[in-house]
Amino acid sequence: EAGVAQSPRYKIIEKRQSVAFWCNPISGHATLYWYQQILGQGPKLLIQFQNNGVVDDSQLPKDRFSAERLKGVDSTLKIQPAKLEDSAVYLCASSLGTGNYEQYFGPGTRLTVT
């Protein structure tokens, strides 16, 4: 079974530029999550999708971050414009559904904003 795929793996941009990350979840997984992991901290949930609908985006900085999951499969997370404090690893995860299901994580995208 293929795991969660993410691209790119690494990205370096200057502040005020824009960037987009892509995620392909495990086939059949209805729920998709985007997390931000700052160095030395645990992952923090940014947004959760159930199929193509948003379940929770309470911790997403909506003035600069946006995410979509068209057709309920792949998802993209965008930052525009980026700030220095956005430097982090962005993790995508998927699970069979909401409730007590373990989440399967992709390898992450390491973003450096200079």
Partner 1 sequence: DQQVKQNSPSLSVQEGRISILNCDYTNSMFDYFLWYKKYPAEGPTFLISISSIKDKNEDGRFTVFLNKSAKHLSLHIVPSQPGDSAVYFCAASDEGNNDMRFGAGTRLTVKP
Residue numbers of the site for partner 1 (CB under 8 A)? 4, 31, 33, 40-45, 48, 55-56, 58, 91, 93, 98-100, 102-108
E strand or H helix at 54, and its extent? Answer: strand 53-56
Cβ-contact 31, 100 below 8 angstroms: no
Comparison of 81 and 107: residue with beta carbon closer to partner 1:
107
Question: Least distance (Å) from partner 1 to the CB of residue 81?
Answer: 27
Question: Least distance (Å) from partner 1 to the CB of residue 56?
Answer: 6
Comparison of 45 and 73: residue with beta carbon closer to partner 1:
45
* Dihedral sign for Cα atoms in the order 28, 102, 42, 62: positive
Question: Least distance (Å) from partner 1 to the CB of residue 17?
Answer: 24
Cβ-contact 31, 97 below 8 angstroms: yes
Comparison of 88 and 91: residue with beta carbon closer to partner 1:
91
Rounded Cα distance, 78 and 6, in Å: 14
